[in-house]
Chains A and B, each alone.
Chain A
Amino acid sequence: MTRKQKRMSVVLAGLAFLGAAAGLTFYALGQKASYFYMPADLATASVPPGQRIRLGGLVEKGTIVRGQGATVAFSVTDKQKSVKVTYTGILPDLFREEQGVITEGAFGPDGVFVADSVLAKHDERYMPKEVADGLKAKGVWQESTN
């Protein structure tokens, strides 16, 4: 091989490598990213059971049921619709009624959302951004609750 051909083959190998990495990245973005929904969005979007999503909203007042060991049940609401959620594990320290939360998991066959992680605010002053934006968009946000 001449010097030029050598250089070309190195460049081509590098490009093929980058192409493979880019292909994998786009595939992974399509398959592995989880979408964010508020309860009212779920009426229009069809989310099949088993597909991982993030569900956000406020913890509905009076719906927190503890007691079956480490499993907790509660409802997440956006003041229009609400969705039943179960979670086994330790809830975040700032998990309270009427507080914004983001839960991540999938719907079971019975229509109950089984969360494997629950995120609340990191600090008493702020609402998770997605939830705040969602509530604002639905017109049920009061600045005073922030």
Chain B
Amino acid sequence: MVETGHFALVLAFALSLVQMLVPLVGARTGNQRLMAVGGPVTVTGFALTALSFAALASAYAGSDFSVASVWENSHSLQPMIYKITGTWGNHEGSMLLWVLILTFFGALVAVLGNNLPATLKANVLAVQGMIGAAFFLFILATSNPFIRLNPAPIEGRDLNPILQDLGLAIHPPMLYLGYVGFSICFSFSVAALIEGRIDASWARWVRPWTLVAWMFLTGGIAMGSYWAYYELGWGGFWFWDPVENASFMPWLAGTALLHSAIVMEKRSALKIWTLLLAILTFSLSLLGTFLVRSGVLTSVHAFATDPARGVFILCILTLFIGGSLALFALRASRLTVGGLFHPISREGALVLNNLFLTTATATVLVGTLYPLALEALTGGKISVGAPFFDLTFGPLMLPLLAIVPFGPLLAWKRGDVIAASQRLMAAFAAAIAAMLVTGLFIDGASVFAALGVGLAVWLVGGALTDLAVKSGFGSVAPAVMLRRLVGLPRSVFGTALAHLGLGLTLLGIVGTLCFGTEKILSMRPGETVELSGHTLRFEGLSPQKGPNFTEDRGRFLLMGADGNADGAITSAKRFYPVRQTVTTESGIRTIGLSQLYLSLGDENNDGSVVVRLWWKPLVTLIWGGGLVMMAGAAVSLLDRRLRVGAPAKRRTPAAALANPT
């Protein structure tokens, strides 16, 4: 089976070469038969990659330690779920998952793209083939997951215990669906540049793919953040770690792309900019892959450092980013420029959004790459962390968030800020009220905290106002309003949901950062500790045994107001003997939207244990908001106009008469 997988991978590489050349030549020479090769080859390539991946997964599931990758990253005593997820819990398998998703997206275009112009489809598949070929070669040359060991070891070296968690089943696949999903936008852009024109079907296609990729990337980042929060035991949800930034940059650029694609679709303006943004977004995904997989950064994600891999990915990076930008420089002038428009309008607001988001992306890029560049050039080692991003990223985000509610309320072509402001009065009043309540009635609230809460309420209120205004709230009878609300285009709901989710995430961040409390103390069994009105009693440590670890489990009782126990929280120090590694399992109790978070430290000589305790108000909203944003993207995708592959409604003369738009 392992050899079958290896062979399938080599065959998939060979097919990707066919996929990158034949349709391209066909499109250039206008040869229909050559162009038609693209579809079947892409689908077959995906099937072979899937077979290869299944072979590796079955080697992991069956603990076949004769495979080097399995031996290094698995153990026979691991629970089955971690054996399977361990397939991508290592460098080689994770790259295989990367190309699996890449070929999956390529196959989707091949299957769903029957209504695309033949040359565009051929070129898109060819560009997908180029990306695929580069990464297949990378895997086969430097990161082959199918290398055998002889003699085969009897037992494996275990998966990194930090990765032995359900998070590994969700976070990497979702993140990759996002990262790699942007490759479709990239391929469409490069294909448009090769053809030298952007037609209507280009815009219709790029927007849903951006939505899909953005939806998964949002979920992947939110899931990664929650995983780090509960797994690392530090209680933080975002560290401005370069690896986090690597996924955050494509998200910011992708968010900008999502918005500029709307302008392009509705007003056929910003064409060249949207195209450039699509190229940049996937370039940032590639950069992220380089940063995370090359080993230039130390992190949980860097599995092994092998200079050859870093150099190889750097070459891929240079080739694709440099190549696409060079093509852009050569061809962009050929594309027809869209019209100018009035600055106070929906499209004007979306341009402002893009200005802020791309600048914010640039500051994150500088903060992430500057330390690497400085070290490479001078050998000086610096670290850039939260203080830097608070000073640069923060000031860019605040005005952007403040103008978000205006955007959807402005009309296309020429908007009216005064009218939009009048409609937003209720949301504004709610935001001011929230600020005052926070500032005056909550102890220890800073100006920033009050501002943050106000801004979050403003965003939520703005999203609701948008729905209310568009369904005619206050001007028509409730029954009519309800009917109009249901009849609104799905994309209007999508926008409102996404902006609402943004407000919720902001509320969670402000709540946790400004009103969270923490205590570090050493406790003996029987002692109690009080934090923000919650009383905990330490019951003591007890040794436990898991399938492939032993642990000292600390039990804490949450005491209710009446003095009786109101449930228990457990936190543990786990020891994984195979890797001689200790991990901390944090104890979390969700109370409403807030969480009580507890993490166990070392045992002192006198029998007391160091305990770190946090009260995190509204913290669940940080990730809950992310889920709401994902829901927004999903609802938008269901919009009839955007449905992937749905042929544009053919207008019958009668329909055109009835609906003369």
Contacts and interface: CB of A to CB of B under 8 A. Distances in A.
Interface string B598-628: 0111101110001010000000000000000
Interface in A1-34: 3, 6-7, 10, 14, 17-18, 21, 24-25, 27-29, 31-34
B594 interface: no
Interface residues of B, number: 50
A101 B555 CA distance: 30
A122 interface: yes
Interface SS majority for chain A: mixed
A33 B581 contact: no
Contacts of B610: 69-70, 90
A67 B602 CA distance: 10
Nearest to A122: B300
A10 B352 CA distance: 11
B371 A21 contact: no
A102 to B, nearest CB: 9
B581 A88 contact: no
A123 B304 CA distance: 11
Given A33-B384, A35-B381, A126-B298, A93 B581 contact: yes
Nearest to A10: B343
Nearest to A71: B520
B392 interface: yes
A93 B583 contact: yes
B481 interface: no
Given A18-B359, A70-B610, A7 B340 contact: yes
B380 interface: yes
A91 B599 CA distance: 11
Interface string B345-389: 000000000010001001100110011000000001111110110
A36 B573 CA distance: 30
Interface string B276-305: 000000000000000000000111101001
B438 interface: no
Size bracket, chain A contacts: 35 or more
Contacts of A79: none
Contacts, number: 119
Contacts of A88: 520
B372 to A, nearest CB: 11
B479 interface: no
B382 A36 contact: yes
Interface in A120-137: 122-124, 126, 128-130, 133
Contacts of B305: 126
A18 B298 CA distance: 32
A89 B599 CA distance: 10
A134 to B, nearest CB: 8
A135 B395 CA distance: 39
A69 B298 contact: no
B580 interface: yes
Given A28-B392, A69-B522, A90-B520, A36 B366 contact: no
Given A124-B580, A128-B298, A33 B359 contact: no
Given A28-B387, A122-B300, 8 more contacts: A17-B355, A24-B391, A24-B392, A31-B391, A33-B384, A70-B522, A88-B520, A93-B581
17 contacts: A3-B340, A6-B340, A17-B355, A21-B362, A25-B362, A25-B366, A28-B391, A29-B384, A33-B383, A36-B381, A69-B610, A70-B522, A89-B601, A90-B612, A94-B582, A123-B300, A126-B305
Q: Which 9 A-B pairs give the minimum distances between C-beta atoms?
A: A36-B381, A90-B601, A32-B387, A93-B582, A28-B391, A32-B388, A70-B520, A33-B382, A129-B298
